[in-house]
Chains A and B, each alone.
Chain A
Amino acid sequence: MSTADDKNRKAPAGERVADWADGRLGIYGLAKANMRKIFPDHWSFMLGEIALYSFIIIILTGVYLTLFFHPSMNEVEYHGGYVPLQGVMMSEAFASTLDISFDVRGGLLIRQIHHWAALIFLAAMLVHMMRVFFTGAFRKPREINWLFGFLLFVLGMFTGFTGYSLPDDLLSGTGVRFMQGAVLSVPVVGTYLSMFLFGGEFPGGDFVARFYSVHILLLPGIMLGLVVAHLILVFYHKHTQFAGPGRTNRNVVGMPLLPVYMAKAGGFFFLVFGLIVIVSAIATINPIWSIGPYRPDQVSTGAQPDWYMGFSEGLIRVMPGWEINFAGHTLVLGVFIPLIIFPLVLVAIAVYPFVESWVTGDKREHHILDRPRNAPTRTAFGVAWLTWYFVLLVGGGNDLWATHFHLSINAITWFVRVAFFAGPVIAFIVTKRICLGLQRRDAEKVLHGRESGVIKRLPHGEFVEVHTPLEQGDLHKLTAHEQYKPAEIGPTVDENGVERKVSPGEKLRAKLSEGYYGEGSQIPKPTAEEYKEITSGHGHH
């Protein structure tokens, strides 16, 4: 009622807590700056969120699993709940994984959530990475964040691989043996490296404990740091957006973080968690009880790694078994060459942003995303890379392709060998053509409107289809992209008539740039004049 009352009134509890925290942490400024941060809305911007949430789920379930897992290779006789393995000798690691699966309350579900979430995490990272790639979101200023994301993907692969090896089952043991073989193939130092990694001859008694600390401490620690850095950079750079009315390179059109995105993201976390739990409750993954404990003298057909390592399996499977024997030493090219190509496959996509910015000479900031069709060369390269990756995955599962499609495994292997070289080239050409076709269609749509399906007969008997003109906003979306000119070498003779030396790098760059933006690599987008001329009625149809 009175002013005296207002002064004496106690602040609400929430405000007091916030005040208390601000006095000690100084979070007010930080919160004020970031709580109203705007994020644009598009389903493809949530792919990274899927990856983030599955990562959190993996950490949560992983902590639970560490409570019961024994990272030890001591041999024990099994006497647990799974009858068909009773009395079998196995490592403590395997026995404790069986205990988690059969004797720990909720253990099997948590194990399956952990493993399914890992597969989904890696898949989400790859899809997220491809979204960033095909929309050109990696361009300045986001190149470093692209590399952080790439590193997360690679580290995720190795975290997954070490985790998959921990139960010491026959399948993962075969995988570890595979890795050890690859290490051994390294000239000169291979044997030393292997001895160092395994603390002696394979498999020894150490690797599970070593992989354990790498899997639960080293790699996830680095990844957690990278995730935080990745997110800070997203905040710092602000999110990219697709072209649209009112959207420019200098603004972000969307909803504020608080409350809209907090609610959306929070809800989406639970949706992701729920869906992964449903998958884990429905389908079994890595049933180590039917795979059996690892013994170096046993091996099974169908021994593949988890999907994200599948392309390395493919490299090994399709590589001819070449080797060179020289002065009592063997160089196992059949394994060593795949070992060299393995990182190259990954690096090929990782360095692309830098190659593109070098070729195009584009050093400006970009906050508006490209539609993939409007960057045909980039899109074609991306599809070529995916084709390469997929061809190797086919090679990695060649036995299952053979049995399920009634093919000869040898024929598949030869197909993969040829497609390894030819597939990306064909994919590149085809994709580029498709992009150009789509650009033509866009131009057609802008100038003539959308086909309405209504056929009109003119007084003199001619039939025409009525086209509905696009709305202003749609016209903007289809014509907002910039079209570049190829970077040229420039005058080679200066004003004094002195010839300058043109380096081969410069020549290559000019050639590549011609390939990017030259004739036949983009369809000129309709100009405003063209649009006016056509829509003014003169020369329509």
Chain B
Amino acid sequence: MKKLSARRRHPLAAVVVLLLALAATGGLYTAFAPAGKAQADETAQSLAIEEGKKLYSVGCASCHGTGGQGSSDGPSLVGVGSAAVDFQVGTGRMPAMAPGAQVPKKKVIYSQKEIDQLAAYVASLGAGPITPTAKQYSPAGADIAKGGDLFRTNCTQCHNFTGEGGALTHGKTAPSLEGVDPKHIYEAMQTGPQNMPSFPDSTMPEQQKRDIIAYVKAVNGEESASPGGLKLGGLGPVSEGLFAWIFGLGALIAVAVWVAAHTAKAKKS
């Protein structure tokens, strides 16, 4: 330290400090600047928007308008966000087949890449919910019990106890959640498609959404067990009553007919 402090009055000291400061600034700049990659991303993004716009004008513009402004046949897409596009097109609901009470889920006709391009274009029309990443919607490690409670508070009114779906007014329905991709469940909660209310992060934080997804997977997924046997659609007393009448009482009546048909023979003489 003595050496350094002794030379601080050296005529070249200022030059050395200046050089060091320049080197530090430059170093920090190279370390933190987005540099060339940012450039590449932006190009890819604008390319996706470009491609998306082309897909949009073929598949969507007839109802949603050439600029996504909407028409009498379809709502405006300004501000719906990429998550909405990923949900609607990713589950096959869009493009819609025919106007009706509700647009049903059907075969997906776009590849995930095309869906991303469409989403990029629609997102460019106005800010909205962004397509979630796998980390956001993954049910791994979420609290199933908490999710069940949240599900019963927020979802069962329309989707039934275990997400088997239910009826809404005038032919509309809350669809079954069986086998629905966790990403799509997450996006539905984010964006509130069709008749569903939306549950943005401000009312339902990301963690709660993951809990709900974990619950749905646990009770209505491919691996969920039904400890009591056939679950009869999980629809409750109506299907149980039908089963009791047909396979319970029906079988018993068949047995009664059988027993009555094999009556004791009167003894001869």
Given contacts A275-B252, A275-B255, A409-B170, contact A119 B244 (CB under 8 A): yes
| Nearest Cβ on chain A to B122's Cβ, whole angstroms | 30
> Which chain B residues lie closer than 8 Å to A119 at the CB level?
240-241, 244, 248
B90 CB–A CB distance under 8 Å: no
> Which chain B residues lie closer than 8 Å to A290 at the CB level?
161-162, 219, 234
B29 CB–A CB distance under 8 Å: no
**Neighbour of B152 across the interface among A280, A292, A411, CB < 8 A:** A292
Within 242-269 of B, Cβ neighbours of A (below 8 Å) are at 242-245, 247-249, 251-253, 255-257, 259-261, 263-264
Asked whether, in the complex, the Cβ of A41 is within 8 Å of the Cβ of B230, the reply is no
> Which chain B residues lie closer than 8 Å to A284 at the CB level?
226-232
Asked whether, in the complex, the Cβ of A43 is within 8 Å of the Cβ of B260, the reply is yes
Asked whether, in the complex, the Cβ of A301 is within 8 Å of the Cβ of B226, the reply is no
Asked whether, in the complex, the Cβ of B161 is within 8 Å of the Cβ of A283, the reply is no
Given contacts A283-B229, A291-B161, contact A46 B235 (CB under 8 A): no
Interface string of A295-306 (1 = CB under 8 A from B): 101111111111
Asked whether, in the complex, the Cβ of B248 is within 8 Å of the Cβ of A120, the reply is yes
Within 167-183 of A, Cβ neighbours of B (below 8 Å) are at 170-171
Asked whether, in the complex, the Cβ of B255 is within 8 Å of the Cβ of A306, the reply is no
B218 CB–A CB distance under 8 Å: yes
CA distance A273 to B30 in the complex (A): 82
| Nearest Cβ on chain A to B211's Cβ, whole angstroms | 11
* Interface band, chain A: 35 or more
> Which chain B residues lie closer than 8 Å to A123 at the CB level?
244-245, 248-249
Asked whether, in the complex, the Cβ of A292 is within 8 Å of the Cβ of B148, the reply is yes
| Nearest Cβ on chain A to B58's Cβ, whole angstroms | 30
With a 10 A CB-CB cut-off, give which of A42, A171, A301 has the most chain B CB atoms: A301
B145 CB–A CB distance under 8 Å: yes
> Which chain A residues lie closer than 8 Å to B231 at the CB level?
284, 287
Within 397-415 of A, Cβ neighbours of B (below 8 Å) are at 397-400, 402-403, 406-411
CA distance A88 to B148 in the complex (A): 9
| Nearest Cβ on chain B to A414's Cβ, whole angstroms | 12
> Which chain A residues lie closer than 8 Å to B226 at the CB level?
284, 287
Within 465-519 of A, Cβ neighbours of B (below 8 Å) are at none
| Nearest Cβ on chain B to A268's Cβ, whole angstroms | 6
| Nearest Cβ on chain B to A309's Cβ, whole angstroms | 9
Asked whether, in the complex, the Cβ of B160 is within 8 Å of the Cβ of A301, the reply is yes
B174 CB–A CB distance under 8 Å: yes
Asked whether, in the complex, the Cβ of A43 is within 8 Å of the Cβ of B253, the reply is yes
Given contacts A171-B161, A298-B152, A307-B241, contact A43 B145 (CB under 8 A): no
| Nearest Cβ on chain B to A263's Cβ, whole angstroms | 8
Look across to chain A and name the residue whose beta carbon is closest to the beta carbon of B101: A408
CA distance A38 to B242 in the complex (A): 36
Interface string of B158-180 (1 = CB under 8 A from A): 11111011111111011000000
Asked whether, in the complex, the Cβ of A86 is within 8 Å of the Cβ of B253, the reply is no
A271 CB–B CB distance under 8 Å: yes
**Neighbour of B256 across the interface among A47, A85, A282, A283, CB < 8 A:** A47
A272 CB–B CB distance under 8 Å: yes
Asked whether, in the complex, the Cβ of A170 is within 8 Å of the Cβ of B240, the reply is no
Asked whether, in the complex, the Cβ of A84 is within 8 Å of the Cβ of B249, the reply is no
**Neighbour of B252 across the interface among A86, A272, A407, CB < 8 A:** A272
Majority secondary structure of chain B interface residues (helix, strand, loop or mixed): helix
> Which chain A residues lie closer than 8 Å to B34 at the CB level?
none
Look across to chain A and name the residue whose beta carbon is closest to the beta carbon of B251: A275
B201 CB–A CB distance under 8 Å: no
Look across to chain A and name the residue whose beta carbon is closest to the beta carbon of B236: A302
Asked whether, in the complex, the Cβ of A271 is within 8 Å of the Cβ of B169, the reply is no
**Neighbour of B145 across the interface among A86, A272, A307, A403, CB < 8 A:** A86
CA distance A407 to B173 in the complex (A): 10
Look across to chain B and name the residue whose beta carbon is closest to the beta carbon of A294: B152
Within 163-199 of B, Cβ neighbours of A (below 8 Å) are at 164-171, 173-174
A146 CB–B CB distance under 8 Å: no
CA distance A103 to B185 in the complex (A): 33
Given contacts A120-B252, A268-B256, contact A399 B230 (CB under 8 A): no
**Neighbour of A282 across the interface among B153, B165, B229, CB < 8 A:** B229
| Nearest Cβ on chain A to B177's Cβ, whole angstroms | 13
Given contacts A282-B230, A284-B232, contact A409 B244 (CB under 8 A): no
> Which chain B residues lie closer than 8 Å to A204 at the CB level?
none
A264 CB–B CB distance under 8 Å: yes
With a 10 A CB-CB cut-off, give which of B218, B244, B263 has the most chain A CB atoms: B244
Look across to chain A and name the residue whose beta carbon is closest to the beta carbon of B243: A283
A102 CB–B CB distance under 8 Å: yes
A279 CB–B CB distance under 8 Å: yes
10 closest A-B pairs by CB: A284-B228, A307-B241, A301-B166, A119-B244, A300-B156, A43-B260, A408-B171, A399-B167, A402-B167, A46-B256
Contacts from A to B (Cβ < 8 Å): 41-47, 49-50, 83-88, 101-102, 108, 112, 116, 119-120, 123-124, 127, 170-171, 255, 260, 264, 267-268, 271-272, 275-276, 279-287, 289-292, 295, 297-307, 310, 396-400, 402-403, 406-411
28 A-B interface contacts by CB (under 8 A): A41-B260, A45-B260, A50-B252, A83-B218, A101-B228, A112-B228, A123-B249, A124-B249, A127-B249, A283-B230, A283-B243, A284-B232, A287-B226, A287-B227, A299-B157, A300-B157, A300-B161, A301-B156, A301-B159, A302-B235, A302-B236, A306-B241, A397-B238, A399-B166, A399-B167, A402-B171, A403-B165, A409-B167
